[in-house]
Amino acid sequence: MDFGHPHFDRTLEELGLLAQTAGLDPVGRITCKRRAPDAALFVGSGKAQEIKDLAAQLGAGEVLFDQTISPAQQRNLERLLELPVTDRTFLILEIFAQRAKSHEGKLQVELARLQYLSTRLVRRWSHLERQRGGIGTRGGPGETQIELDRRMIMSSIVRTKEQLRKLQRQRSTQRRQRERNGAFNISLIGYTNAGKSTLFNALVKARAYAADQLFATLDTTTRQMYLGDVGRSVSLSDTVGFIRDLPHGLVDAFKATLQEAVDAYLLLHVVDASNPNFPEQIAQVQSVLREIGAQAVPQIVVFNKIDALPVDAQPVRMVDSYEIDSQQCQRVFISARSLTGLQGLRDCLSQAASAQGSAQSGITPESGPDAETLLPLNA
């Protein structure tokens, strides 16, 4: 529903992809414009009827909303439409739950799910309180059950967090080990489906799962990559993709996985240049980077999928610069699929790695031979 939100997606393209990734088959799309959501139904009652008719006509078995709807709106809609109703946040959590493979990934998704549930319970709780005549009134039938559920959820949250903390400690020990060995860590980051895993596979000849799905990757994978030009290995990590309005609990829950990006010397920010929404996607990635505290890590922006660009939109120069958050970053055009431009990218990585080598051996960046190859900070 369009109420002037800057990220309103009229085509519902991304929601359709999310639905497909979760194993659903989108059969129809409907949008509407309102100044503010309706308290009871989110959409107006006329629109709700329109949705019901369309669903019946197309034989839909479920209705998805692109925006977050409240538990009360969800219940009212389900009653009226006589179909299960879900929102985008829930869909994303569902996909993460289906995809999580590693112990850590599963714990993180569980934590996000519990946090999502706990906010829903809290909201329902205040709703009940209002019904009973406001705060201060105690007792009532619904209260004990909700209080019990809430306590159970809270103690599960504490337990899950503790398990995650243990894993995090192991990770940071491994990371410190790598740092002691003078490793140069590079993290591939970017919007979901940008082609990070495809590029990872092309660069390290690995076989990470890459697919035309959102959130194909959930767990961080790290491999060594040898840069012949500078005669050293660097470590490259493939990470989980970002998406707009990532459910809040998820960013929090995935902090451990994303820590890899925070601690990297360099981020390869992979962008799907063939997606018309790429500027918006870059902005979303930057906002998650700020949230996890990785905004100051230098970036190379990798414009991927140039094979899918029309001839008149092909880059003139394969390496140039691009402004992100008022900072100039080096930009490299590639196609991870057809392997175009990978040598140019490797050259940039070699320059960055040798700049770090000089910095570590005591040469200050300003006086070193690679001064101009240093990357800007996105501080």
Q: By the criterion CB under 5 A, which residues form the site for Mg ion?
A: 196-197, 216-217
Residue 337 engages ligand GTP in binding (rule: CB under 6 A): yes
Task: Tell me: does residue 304 bind ligand GTP (CB under 6 A).
Answer: yes
Distances (CA, A) of 259 to 7, 169, 217: 27, 12, 16
Residue 330 partner contact from ligand GTP, Mg ion, none using kind-dependent CB cut-offs of 5 to 8 Å? none
Let me know: does 268 contact 302? Beta carbons within 8 Å. yes
Closer CB to ligand GTP, 81 or 203, in the complex? 203
Phi, psi of 238 (to 5 degrees): -100, 130
Judge contact between 72 and 40, C-beta under 8 A. Answer: yes
Residue 335 as a binder of ligand GTP (CB under 6 A): the answer is: yes
Q: Which is nearer to ligand GTP, 110 or 272 (CB)?
A: 272
In whole angstroms, what is the distance from residue 369 CA to residue 372 CA?
A: 8
Q: What per-residue string of b and e applies to 50-62 under the rule 16 or more CB within 10 Å gives b?
A: ebbeebeeeebee
What is the SS3 assignment for 324? strand
Q: Coil, strand, or helix at residue 319?
A: strand
CB 353 within 8 A of CB 184: yes
Comparing every residue's Cβ against ligand GTP, the nearest one is: 241
Select the binding partner of residue 307 from Mg ion, ligand GTP, none (C-beta < 5 to 8 A, by kind).
ligand GTP
Please provide the size of the chain in residues. Answer: 379
C-alpha span between 152 and 163 (Å, rounded): 17
According to DSSP, residue 31 is labeled: -
Please choose, out of 106-114, 168-176, 208-216, 275-283, the segment that lies near ligand GTP by the rule CB under 6 A: 208-216
Q: Which is nearer to ligand GTP, 85 or 210 (CB)?
A: 210
* Beta carbons within 10 angstroms of residue 197's beta carbon: 24
What x/- string results for residues 227 through 246 when contact with ligand GTP is judged by CB under 6 A? --------------x-----
For the four alpha carbons of 335, 336, 339 and 342, in that order, the dihedral sign comes to: positive
Q: Which of residues 174-193 bind ligand GTP (CB under 6 A)?
A: 190, 192-193
Instruction: Verify binding: residue 214, ligand GTP, rule CB under 6 A.
Output: yes
Whether the Cβ atoms of residue 352 and residue 266 lie closer than 8 Å to each other: yes
Cβ 215 to ligand GTP shortest distance, Å: 5
Single residue of 63, 85, 194, 301 touching ligand GTP by CB under 6 A: 194
* Contact partner at residue 287 from Mg ion, ligand GTP, none, CB < 5 to 8 Å by partner kind: none
Site string for ligand GTP, 19-58 (x = CB under 6 A): ----------------------------------------
The amino acid at 169: R
* 215 contact, one of ligand GTP, Mg ion, none, CB 5-8 Å limit per kind: ligand GTP
| Sites of contact with ligand GTP (CB under 6 A) | 190, 192-198, 210-217, 241, 304-305, 307-308, 335-337
